[in-house]
Amino acid sequence: MTRNLTAPAPVPVHTSLGRVVVTGGAGFLGSHLCEELLARGSEVVCLDNFLTGSPANVAHLMSDPAFHLLRCDVTDYVHVPGDVDVVLHFASPASPVDYLQLPIETLKVGSVGTAHALGLAKEKGARFVLASTSEVYGDPQVHPQPEDYWGHVNPVGPRGVYDEAKRFGEAITTAYRTTHHVNTGIVRIFNTYGPRMRPNDGRAIPTFVRQALAGEPLTIAGDGSQTRSVCYVSDLVEGILAMAASTHPGPVNIGNPTERTILRIAEDVIAATGSDSTIELVPRPVDDPEVRRPDTALARRVLGWSPRVSWDEGLASTVEWFRSVVTVPA
């Protein structure tokens, strides 16, 4: 019997993935992955050079004997003693502010860093999962974006360093699978939000929440009609770990298919924070995508995964966390 792809996916059974290396493990997504892996009984080796990640993101994990934090730049080397069952490659600047300030570092971690992480997986006989991105679709001309869409990317535009680093990462991951028979998988991550995002990382939701809590105008690029599909971080982690537990090569889109305008997101943030902030329109960045929405049929079919956290619930949790870290003017 064919499963109805529109039906809610079952709640996954959580099992340990063994000994897992997470590159970029002290970043926003990486730290949530480390946390959930430990909760599932895995041993975690977290590698980070703290260029955009922070030890503070994993400080609460340091007392767990199954957690190991190593300062490591994967563009220099990757050496992990002992057995490794899974390598999750999440090292990379991931916000426009970061990769515009760190273009060479972004390209190097997507190329040299990915090659080193793949080399570790090959050496250890481990499953390898690459954190790719919806940015490989560029400013898409197909909507929503399925995995077989090749994208519409400007390789020499200001966002090209991130887009092309990830596209190269996908290519070398595929090459290691076909040439060296490494058990690889690729996840294309769409816009994600939640606790531990940096207030000044330049992405829409942390920027809006920070501005709203400070009583500042919320700055919207363009007229705010461009759309994004945002996924709460715990849902994203579920999808990534489902991919890690599978043998599917991907690419597989992981994201929330519910689409909202940037203007609507800003208005919802104002309501969730109880702020009296106004909205201010500012010039739109070059190559800013007009629409962004994942086709998640493949994730539902091969991983049994679909997002479960509502926008209202996820936004409330995010705002609560930001209140604890953002200084609000008296």
- Residues annotated as catalytic (active site), given as ranges: 162
Contact partners, residue 38, CB within 8 Å, separation at least 6:
44, 61, 64, 66, 67
**Residue 214 buriedness (CB in 10 A; 0-12 / 13-18 / 19+):** middle
Instruction: Give one DSSP letter per residue of 232-274, joined into a string.
Output: EHHHHHHHHHHHHHS-----EEES---EEEHHHHHHHHHHHHT
Beta bridge partners of 280: 219
Contact partners, residue 27, CB within 8 Å, separation at least 6:
48, 52, 53, 57, 90, 91, 94
326: left (phi over 0), alpha (psi -120 to 50) or beta: beta
Quote the CA–CA distance of 133 and 137 in Å, as a whole number.
8
Quote the CA–CA distance of 314 and 303 in Å, as a whole number.
22
3-state secondary structure of 124: helix
Scan for tokens 């926008």, then name that residue: 311
Scan for tokens 């190097």, then name that residue: 108
- The DSSP letter of residue 133 is E
Quote the CA–CA distance of 195 and 241 in Å, as a whole number.
19
DSSP H or E run through 317:
helix 311-325
* Peptide bond between residue 251 and the one before it cis (omega within 30 degrees of 0): yes
Distances (CA, A) of 127 to 86, 176, 183, 254, 321: 5, 12, 5, 18, 33
* Peptide bond between residue 146 and the one before it cis (omega within 30 degrees of 0): no
